[in-house]
A and B are shown apart, each in its own frame.
Chain A
């Protein structure tokens, strides 16, 4: 087989002027309407409530809520309030930021299966009060462990997923 073509550049080539470069920095700004289901969900968070919808056909209780069931493909109008607590479905201990810079103190993303929702129905969030080292965190957390939300004080809530500061392991 013939060797393939392609000219591999080094970091040095990029900074030394050996290769001519061109830059562009787009200033992208978007305004998203939250939609029917998520507007109600975010309103609920502002009021300290975790809301879900229930499909009348497959009977699944769904979060994040939606106004149509993607399985039954029919409209949903039934809303229920969930207690807010749940269990860990899976988690990670992340040392990498979005720009690939590294963190000294890790973040702990988690999928929380919500009590009162159908089995396996979860949301993405963060764990808190779990320590600062990998050993400590992986020692404390396990899949299936009960967790509860830590809410911002009512005055600080703004109708966002971050109105829940984080989840923490449930007492006892």
Chain B
């Protein structure tokens, strides 16, 4: 391995996910960081460096959000960086934490992901308008949902995917979310396909119960070098592969039916992990699911299904939590079932893979044996893929 250090995950922690939290972003970051440190059996004195991830300043109305968060993230007096790649941030934060330790420069790193979307009025969606091109797009009166609706329609019509199949993904994730201790009130639940199909059309083909909510929340993980991890009593989970990739911002020049940037990110991570057949070697997966179609779209980009086949497999129950032959996808409940505090949602997915590998997922523990799992996130202008593979 061309890296100085093999990197282990020693602990993870989350806050509850909420539509509106009383706690400030700093307080949320602190709660998540404290929980992760306790889970790892460490204190802040054991931490060599800190990475934080959080969304654009526009949500909080606070400039230099990274510096604002630093105290709550435990970064006082330590080497610290904040990074941000839109919705891909949660998973990218762990990648950044990974290379801090893989470089050989540090033995431990605390990665903290925080998001508080609720302060932005009248609705946080407005903060996203500024991601569109200011000359050729914004004057048309854009809103964020457009790009996802346009991408979903392209994907749906390219492969002839029935709406019921997307509803089935939402049903699975919202059911899985019932068992997640962080699940946002009102988001998880046992919905019928008919209820989901009859939910409000927001931007056709996107419907209300196939979109993740606005959320506040935080998550954190503790990483360590092999040398450090071997001193701990609990057997560690290892980061076996990382990958990330960015497509062009000229999104109207891309064929949105397939996330080619994610395939590149996934291939990078598979190669590092020595995985030649991901359908055999990935035993549980947390694909990023802010919309029901995105779970399927991402499973294809991750090469866990052929193009156009993830929906067929969904119809066969291949991605269900209790599958015997398939690969459980979003056993946590995902963004559709737990909530979507953007950067923290990616951290929630990473934490789920960690708990699944430790056998600590409780009622969410998948039936099949898991030795290796993958978490993925996506964001910016539908153009970034971030991937982490963990194993035990």
Query: Which residues of A are in contact with B by a Cβ distance under 8 Å?
Result: 1-10, 14, 19, 24, 26, 32, 34-35, 38, 41-42, 62, 64, 66, 70, 89-101, 106-107, 109-111, 120-126, 134, 138, 143, 160-162
Contact = CB atoms under 8 A, between A and B. Distances in A.
Instruction: Give the contact-size bracket for chain B.
Output: 35 or more
Contact of B182 (A4, A35, A41): A4
Given A26-B61, A32-B134, A3 B217 contact: no
5 smallest beta-carbon distances between A and B, as pairs: A92-B149, A6-B16, A100-B123, A7-B22, A94-B203
B31 A6 contact: yes
A99 B19 contact: no
B369 interface: no
B204 A94 contact: yes
Interface in B112-135: 122-123, 125-126, 129, 133-135
Given A34-B135, A92-B203, A124-B137, 19 more contacts: A4-B35, A6-B17, A6-B217, A7-B18, A8-B16, A8-B19, A9-B20, A70-B248, A89-B252, A90-B157, A91-B153, A96-B202, A98-B129, A98-B143, A123-B252, A124-B140, A124-B252, A126-B140, A161-B139
Contacts of B253: 62, 120-122
Contacts of B248: 70
B201 A6 contact: no
Given A4-B35, A97-B143, A124-B136, A134 B201 contact: yes
Nearest to A66: B250
Given A64-B133, A94-B145, A109-B140, A1 B362 contact: yes
A96 B203 contact: yes
Nearest to A137: B204
A74 B185 CA distance: 52
B4 interface: no
A122 B252 contact: yes
15 contacts: A2-B181, A4-B31, A6-B21, A8-B19, A64-B136, A90-B151, A93-B149, A94-B203, A98-B141, A99-B123, A109-B146, A109-B149, A120-B253, A134-B204, A161-B139
Interface centre among A19, A66, A89, A134 (most CB of B within 10 A): A89
B125 to A, nearest CB: 5
Contacts of A138: 204
A98 B142 contact: yes
Contact of A5 (B16, B61, B203): B16
B123 A24 contact: no
Contacts, number: 168
A128 B181 CA distance: 47
Contact of A120 (B126, B142, B254): B254
A98 B131 CA distance: 13
B144 to A, nearest CB: 8
B23 interface: yes
B15 interface: yes
A42 B216 CA distance: 40
A38 to B, nearest CB: 5
Given A64-B133, A70-B250, A111-B252, A4 B149 contact: no
A121 B251 CA distance: 9
A8 B20 contact: yes
Contacts of B252: 64, 89, 111, 121-124
A126 B136 CA distance: 12
B10 interface: no
B161 to A, nearest CB: 13
A126 B240 CA distance: 45
B61 A161 contact: no
B14 interface: yes
A9 B21 contact: yes
A96 B148 CA distance: 13
A92 B135 contact: no
Contacts of A95: 200-204
A7 B217 CA distance: 10
Contacts of B202: 94-96
Interface centre among B126, B182, B200, B204 (most CB of A within 10 A): B204
B185 A8 contact: yes
B21 A3 contact: no
A93 B16 contact: no
Nearest to A162: B139
Contacts of A70: 248, 250
Interface in B9-36: 13-23, 28, 31, 35
A92 B203 CA distance: 6
